[in-house]
Amino acid sequence: MLFEIETDKAHKLAPNQPSRPERTRPVFISTDWYDEIVRMTAEYVDDHMAVVVVDDDVAQLYPERLELIYNKLPRVRTLKIKGGERAKTLRMFTRLQEYLLENEFNRDDILISMGGGTISDLVGFVACTFSRGVSWVTIPTTFIAQFDCAIGGKNAVNLDNHKNYCGTFYWPNVSFVDTSFLGTLPDRFYRAGISEMARLAMCGNAAMFEELSAATRDQGLDGVKANVEKFILDAMQVKLRVSVSDPFQMSKRMALLAGHTTAHALESASKMHLHHGEAVSIGLAFESFIATEIGLLAAEDRKKLVDILEDCQLPTVLPAELHDRMLVEHMRLEKRNRGRMISLVLPYAPGRMIEDWPAARVLMKPDELWSKLVAYRLQCG
């Protein structure tokens, strides 16, 4: 089902995926425009059923926004679930599939996800697989989700404590970003988005990297908040540009995985207690250390990257309670590895990672990586 409605109340990005006009999946972004989002969604849904899967915290913070959906859409069902990595399980996936079946949901009906990246990951996986694919509208409510997790077409659940092992490539039919949701977001989760924003700037926007560095140097997190819509839009454009050119992550899109081999290992080793954005911060700091050691990243650029993270009070040191051998074992199980070699996407010259791909990709033996972990711990004291 195509989404062909227009609005003058939001910026519109209209990527074609995969390079076919009939697969256009628009992303709209503005602030304080939720009424318009519901109007557009109602026009899209028409007289079909809509099932809204909403983060329980969002439902409690914004009951009036859910009520507006009930008032404007003809047939609505709501399933409230607790967000976070604990939502991304095969058990929850099955529960949602069964909920759709019980409510006689069919291929003409619409799934709506409303929450952070874990909610969109779960709902996107369900949307792709229920009846071999149904329409899906996403309303991301967290900082990371609005420019990264909820766009680009990757969705997954965790297998045991292994990050994103079961998933698909399946784009939302439309994404609605309203930055007013960020007004109630705790600073910890706001900060966690900075690591992903810095990663995207490193990958494909050198000017944005410098702007982010200047904003956080002077004001820390407040420097980003002061111009949040522009930063989100810039980051979103990097994500969409590479995602539509490589929708199934076969080549250049892999550049977006900078810091993620370490980050996913940290999340798995901590049994998902470490927030994804915080794990990415540590991953970027550690993997940029390797990049500088091997001459891939200039020392001054690494300092700027680490300063962005630390100025926003993000962790950059490997957790003392997670043993290096344990981390290597989890890195060894990363799904993108090749043979017995561990695949790393190392931070590279700011803004150049996508264009210069695969210059940033390095394969390491487990023992070699273990020695780098030890060296990094020693450097951090």
Structure-token pair, residue 103: 């409510």
This prediction's pTM: 0.93
List of domains in the chain: 11-184 (3.40.50.1970), 194-380 (1.20.1090.10)
**How big is the chain, counted in residues?**
381
Cα–Cα distance between 131 and 94 in angstroms, integer?
13
| pLDDT tens digits, one per residue of 114-147 | 999 999 999 999 999 999 999 999 999 999 999 9
Whether the CA torsion 22, 25, 30, 34 is positive or negative: it is: positive
- CB neighbour class for 22 (10 Å; exposed up to 12, middle 13-18, buried from 19): exposed
- Rg (C-alpha) for the chain, rounded Å, is 20
- CB neighbour class for 283 (10 Å; exposed up to 12, middle 13-18, buried from 19): buried
Give yes or no for a cis peptide into 358 (omega within 30° of 0): yes
| pLDDT tens digits, one per residue of 213-264 | 999 998 999 999 999 999 999 999 999 999 988 989 999 999 999 999 999 9
Beta carbons of 100 and 122 less than 8 angstroms apart: no
Q: What is the mean pLDDT of residues 153-173?
A: 93
